[in-house]
Amino acid sequence: MRPFKYINATTGEQALQAAEQHERAKYLGGGTNLVDLMKEDVEQPDHLIEIADLEYNSIKENKKGGLTLGAVVSNSDTANHPVIRQKYPLLTMAMLSAATAQIRNMATNGGNLLQRTRCPYFYETSMPCNKREPGSGCGAKKGMNAKHAIFGYSDSCVAVHPSDMCVALAALNAEVEVLQINGKTKMMPFEDFHRLPGAQPEKDTNLDKGELITAIHLPQSIYADHYYYLKIRERSSYAFALLSVAAGLQIKNGIIASAGLAMGGVAHKPWKLTKAEQFLKGKSPSEENFQRAATIAMEDAKPLAENGFKVPMGEKAIVRALNQAYNRKV
């Protein structure tokens, strides 16, 4: 590992200052991804700014009926929080499907949003990768891409975002609260937080340099009765999703009043299925409508050479997740 300096920030302001002073500084949350990447020489920060001691360390219900998740609260504490278990069980289900108990104990909520792709070309420093080294090319596009994107990729990058938590947050229409360099706070809709690769795959998110995630806001709970997180993977735990679906349904008088749907493992960002959500709204929760929604959702899929399986698998996964969500006995 390259030598680096360590700074322990105790306030958000201090953290921002340190980040501004040091061009190649990185914030250190749980370190479950960043430290691995440093060992691999993929990330090469000269300073690590510890943010574990910052004040963004609680989960609070807010006046509008939603919930605020502090950025440095651990994934374990978040997933198992009684209010989240009760009102946002979709989030609990997604988060507990991720990684291992040990990793979830270390990982923070802000860090989860910022974890980087598991594309093997990104990890192996001798391989071409535009995300790691802009301009070096995309090894996966013409190489091994079974685990890569079917939506929204570009010529320069076909990587996928690895998070489970973020797929649920996309379905739940969360917002991200960010401390800007000028000290002011801004709110970013979850859909605008992560970005598609385009010509700049080195940028995973729309955060500006030095900006710090302080919280995630969940709107009022509407999917607590009908929800499901389906994660398809090779082994029963400690594996990234080949593909995943977060589904939430709000049923009123036998009709779908609102649907929250997102997929993981298919794009550079958590992939919100907006068209399918809109289709389902006002429909009856029938197998037929679920199938139609799934077909709509997969219409734009453009599989690569090795990941054609993700299209039929994705379609079946959406139908299954919606069925499971609807039939869930509360």
Partner 1 sequence: MKTLETSSIGKAIDRIDGRLKVTGMAKYASEFPVENVVYAQGVTSTIAKGKITSIDVTEAEKQKGVIKVITYKNAEKLKESDEKRPAFTLTSVAPVLQSPEIHYYGQYVACVVAETFEQAQYACRLVKVTYEEDKPDIDLDKNRSKAFKPDDQADYSRGDVDAGMQSSDVTLEATYTTPIEHQHPMELHAAIVSWENGKVKTYASQQILNDAKTAIADTFMISEDNVQIIAAYLGGGFGSKLNVHKHLIMATMASKMIGRPVQITVTRQQMFTNTGMRQFDEQKMRLGANKKGELQALAHHTTSHCATDQMYYEACGNVSKMLYKTPNNAVTHRLIPLNLQVPNSMRAPGEATGSFALESAMDEMAWKLKMDPVEFRIKNDTQRDLGADKPFSSRLLVECLRIGADKFGWSERKMQPRANQNGNWLVGYGVSAASRRAPYRKTSARVIADMRNGEVYATIQMDGTDIGTGSYTIVAQTAAEYLGIPVKNINVELGDSDFPVTPGSGGSWGAASYANGVRVACKNLFSKLKQNAGVAEEDEVALEDLMKSSKVTSYKVVGTAEPSEEYENHSVFSFGANFAEVWVDKDTGMYRIKRMVNVGSAGKILNPKTAYSQIIGGLTMGAGMVIAEQTQVEPHHGNFITRSLADYHVPVNLDLANIDVVFLPEEDKIANEIGVKGIGELGITSVAASIANAIFNATGKRMRDLPITPEKLIEASLEAGV
Answer for which of 232, 246, 247, 266 binds partner 1 (CB under 8 A) is: 232
**Least distance to partner 1 from the beta carbon of 122, Å?**
11
> Quick one: which of 95, 114, 242, 261 contacts partner 1 (CB under 8 A)?
242
**Binding track, positions 173-212, relative to partner 1; x by CB under 8 A:** ----------------------------------------
143 binds partner 1 (CB under 8 A): yes
C-beta of 250 vs 289, nearer to partner 1: 289
- The stretch among 16-24, 83-91, 231-239, 248-256 that binds partner 1 (CB under 8 A) is 231-239
Nearer CB in complex with partner 1: 97/214: 97
**Residue 316 contacts partner 1 per CB under 8 A:** yes
Q: Mind spelling out the 3-state secondary structure of the chain?
A: CCCCEEEECCCHHHHHHHHHHCCCEEEECCCCCHHHHHHCCCCCCCEEEECCCCCCCCEEECCCCCEEEECCCEHHHHHCCHHHHHHCHHHHHHHHCCCCHHHHHHCEHHHHHCCCCCCHHHHCCCCCECCCCCCCCEHHHHCCCCCCCCCCCECCECCCCCCCHHHHHHHCCCEEEEECCCCCEEEEEHHHHECCCCCCCCCCECCCCCCEEEEEEECCCCCCCEEEEEEECCCCCCCCCCEEEEEEEEEECCEEEEEEEEEECCCCCCEECHHHHHHHCCCCCCHHHHHHHHHHHHCCCCCCCCCCCHHHHHHHHHHHHHHHHHHCCC
Query: By C-beta, is 220 or 327 nearer to partner 1?
Result: 327
In the complex, the smallest distance separating the C-beta of residue 195 from partner 1, rounded to whole angstroms, is 25
Q: Give CA–CA dist 284/255, Å, rounded.
A: 5
Nearer to partner 1, 33 or 78 (CB): 33
Task: Provide the mask over 118-137, with x wherever binding to partner 1 is found by CB under 8 A and - wherever it is not.
Answer: x-xx-xx-xx----------
- Give the phi and the psi of residue 297 in degrees, each rounded to 5: -60, -35
**Which of residues 103 and 224 has its CB atom nearest to partner 1 in the complex?**
103
State in angstroms the smallest separation of the CB of 69 from partner 1: 26
- Total chain residues near partner 1 (CB under 8 A): 34
Site map 38..77 versus partner 1, x via CB under 8 A: ---x------------------------------------
* Site residues for partner 1 per CB under 8 A: 1-3, 41, 118, 120-121, 123-124, 126-127, 139, 142-144, 146, 230, 232-239, 242, 309-310, 312-313, 316-317, 319-320
